[in-house]
Structure 1
Amino acid sequence: MGTPAVASRRSVMGAAVLLVDDDAAARALAAQALTMEGFEVAEASTASKARELNGSRRFDLVVLDLGLPDEQGLDWLVELRRVSTIPVIVLTGRSGVEDRVVGLRLGADDYLVKPFAPTELSARVTAVLRRARPAPVQRSLDFGDLVIDEAAGEVRVAGRLVPLTRKEYELLCHLASHPRQVFSREQLLVSVWNSSSEWQHPATVTQHVRRVRQKVEAEAGATPRISTIRGVGYRFDP
């Protein structure tokens, strides 16, 4: 099977989402759905906790329930908009249009009425992020004897085309795009397979790493690229 061209669907993969909702059950379902789609999720049940988390790290999008126990979600939205253009999806338990209209006028990018399907939330998050982010620039990752041409969806070692399956190619691209960064098998299941160890065995990652190594390092004198960090995971060495 030849190397497939990979579209820009991964332009939002790995985006960090701050999920703010005081309903623990609904928050857990939403977090699981977003994680399954490859997003990194941080959770807060109050506006004060959301404020603390947002001040300690960078998020790409906020999912904000309007009915928080310590203050109105709209108040925090106003505060957030004074200093940030981060995309915000507001959640409301009211079926009327008032909260939605006010939220959009105050700077929300989209809204959902509770209860909602977790898959709908994931789709809304993906759509908002795609609108907010510029289209990714197709590039070539050049590591000397190893060249990954993302525009053509091809991998070459010493000029020789390496036939990889779709997942083998996506795994290599993900690792090569983060040189020297160690990823656990569970993290790779989320980032490459859009899955988790609850749904798919981590041995899947091990098998794919083995096959990528065999194919990429088959050329005589090819440089070993993927290292196993015992007890931790895998790392791409440029």
Structure 2
Amino acid sequence: MHHITKPVTAKATALLLRLHFLAALWQCKNRFMEEFIKFEEIIEPDERHGLIDQLTGTRFTLESLYRTLDGIKLLDSVPEEIQSQFNVTKNLAIYTWYSYSLDPVAQLKTYILIEHALKLKFEKDNWPFPKLIKKAINRGWVKDSGFSHIEACPQDNTKYVRKMIEVLPSLRNSAAHGSNGLHQHAVGHIQICAEWINQIFSPDHDHNQVREAGA
């Protein structure tokens, strides 16, 4: 009896590739225990970048990493202390080339920097992160249209950012506990962080009225 072999669809192929990718990712995640770097390996690229390239078919280089980070800018209206810490975050991301485990540290830094920017803008060091985000949205300082990774809804320009009232603090808290995950998310986080900060300190806002009555 002959079995009829059904043609493999593009969707099925993509699913199989994703399953293989996730399996390999899990193996890589559990393969590495972080160790103190050897002196002779300080300026050598972390081998995990090569593993990601093999799994995704991409080509990741130090030059491409630098060019991308160099292209992420803050507005001149952003205070120097935020500019300075943002550059620290970008420098940290550069060194993920040599130590992959710095990637989640750079991600954590972006969450902390967004909160720092909001506290500085409102001049409210004691306000919790969710309250800061909510107040910024209510004032119209932060909108979906200010982010490049999403498509804003014309009927609701705060649909995404309203979700961030709970999501961002949760991500920050989770990242603070550390991660052994194998991913290259620092650059994307830095881009989003820049877009938060540029909206918060946009010259279009009235910087002289940052306190809310009765707050």
- Please classify the TM superposition score into its range, dividing by the shorter chain length: under 0.3
Instruction: Answer 1 or 2: which has greater helix percent.
Output: 2
Where relative contact order (Cα < 8 A, 6+ residues apart) is larger, the structure is 2
Instruction: Give me the TM-score of the superposition, normalised by structure 1.
Output: 0.25
Instruction: Answer 1 or 2: which has greater strand percent.
Output: 1
Instruction: Give me the TM-score of the superposition, normalised by structure 2.
Output: 0.27
